[in-house]
Amino acid sequence: MLRPRFTYRRAVAATIATALAAGVMIGLTVGPAAAQEAPTAESVASPLVIAHRGASGYRPEHTLAAYELAIRMGADYIEPDLVSTQDGVLVARHENEIGGTTNVADHPEFADRFTTKIVDGQSLTGWFTEDFTLAELKTLRAIERIPDIRPNNTIYDNRFPVPTLQEVIDLATRYRVGIYPETKHPTYFDSIGLSLEEPLVATLRANGLNRPDSAVFIQSFETTNLRQLNKVIDVPLVQLIGGSGAPYDLVANGSTLTYDDLATPAGLRRIAVYADGIGPDKNRIVPRDSAGFLLQPTRLVDNAHRVDLLVHPYTFRAENTFLPADFRIGTDPARYGDIAAEYELFFSLGVDGLFADQPDIAFYARQLATGDQAA
């Protein structure tokens, strides 16, 4: 039996439209709603602008500063990647290895935590969230993960702490936007006794965000945890589909099923049994050739919609180094290319939302694509 597809109405935000018409920067115009209550699915627009790790094109990722800026730029949802501390608190980090996203290397008191671990079959060396209590982790500060591409973001290094899931929810509730958490390495965290799903569900329930109309999506690159979540919480679930490889939980159990298999019509029917949408690598929708130029779109969006799956591709970034060759401007990898043209292409293909590092540009492109100056 297929899970019901969740639909969203386009919300009217006259203050944003007025600001755009006046040429005012969006980031300075949108403030928190007066009511301190949980957002609902009907309070956000469609297609969705999902702030990938917050406004990570402008602030160090997974910080409250990045999330708040994303909201002020018009994002409908903010995305926290979730990992666990030693004492079982869910925090927002791209990975459990934090050497590249915090200033932990500058803290001699944590030098003995530097270690090598096997995570999802890969050897990683660094510092890991599961070796820190929340109190210890709170002494660290975030740094820009890709400073060569985003040097302007480094002026915010060492300023912002690592937020908890609850702090992200508090921010989202205050501004009445949705949250889109991803469970990172769930099989690994299960193996060390720090399961992610139970505290995630408990936190959502405690905040009244466990209903179908809650503005919440839960996503994962693995499949087993989504199947488990489908039995215990009634919010939309999204199966992420990588550009290559296979879900680690399936690999660990000896399955030969790959992401390529999940992206087929049969694979999409399999996903629709336990999830409400897919989050594919955007190259699965419009592939690139060996030189980086775009090829003809695939049928993935249409095939997913046929089985009532939403489609939220990742990740849209404005810098040349991330863009198809068709949309690059100049040769500087850090320079912005024609990201608006890429958005226009994907909106025309019928995606239901997308993950953006620069949510202000995605917001503007959505207005152009939908012709809705009040979206």
Domain ranges of the chain: 14-370
pLDDT at residue 271 in the model? 98
Residue 212 — very low, low, confident or very high, per pLDDT cuts 50/70/90? confident
Q: 49 - beta bridge partners?
A: 354
Give the residue from 344, 345, 335 showing the smallest Cα distance to 298.
345
Amino acid at 105: A
**pLDDT at residue number 375:** 46
Mean pLDDT, rounded, of the chain = 90
Local confidence band at 201 (pLDDT 50, 70, 90 cut-offs): very high
Residue 52 scores a pLDDT above 80: yes
β pairing state of 115-119 and 122-126: antiparallel
pLDDT tens digits for 227-262? 999 999 999 999 999 999 999 999 999 999 999 999
Res 20 pLDDT > 60: no
The whole-angstrom separation of Cα 239 and Cα 274 is: 9
10: Cβ contacts below 8 Å, ≥ 6 apart:
45, 46, 370, 372, 375
**Model-level pTM greater than 0.85?**
yes
Residue 65 has pLDDT above 90, yes or no: yes
Q: What is the pLDDT, as a whole number, of residue 8?
A: 31
Cα angle 141, 58, 79 (rounded to 5 degrees) comes to: 75
As assigned by CATH, the class of the 14-370 domain is: alpha beta
Q: Please write the tens of the pLDDT for every residue from 286-345.
A: 999 999 999 999 999 999 999 999 999 999 999 999 999 999 999 999 999 999 999 999
Q: Which is more confident, 3 or 370?
A: 370
Give the mean pLDDT of 8-21.
30
Contact 235, 276 (CB under 8 A): no
Strands 122-126 and 178-179: unpaired
Average pLDDT (40-46) is: 64
Q: Are the beta carbons of 66 and 53 closer than 8 angstroms?
A: yes
**Rounded to an integer, what distance in angstroms lies between the CA atom of residue 141 and that of residue 101?**
9
Burial of 122 (0-12, 13-18, 19+ CB in 10 A): exposed
Phi and psi torsions of 124, nearest 5°:
-130, 140
> Cis omega (within 30 of 0) on the bond before 315?
yes
Asked whether the predicted pLDDT for residue 19 surpasses 50, the reply is no
Residue 15 near residue 22, CB atoms below 8 Å: no
pLDDT of residue 3: 47
For the segment 187-198, what is each residue's pLDDT rounded down to a tens digit? 999 999 999 999
**CA dist list (Å): 307 to 21, 109, 247, 262, 338:** 39, 53, 21, 13, 33
Partners of 123 in the beta sheet? 118
As given in the structure block, the two tokens for residue 322 are: 């991330």
Determine the average pLDDT of the residues in 89-105.
98
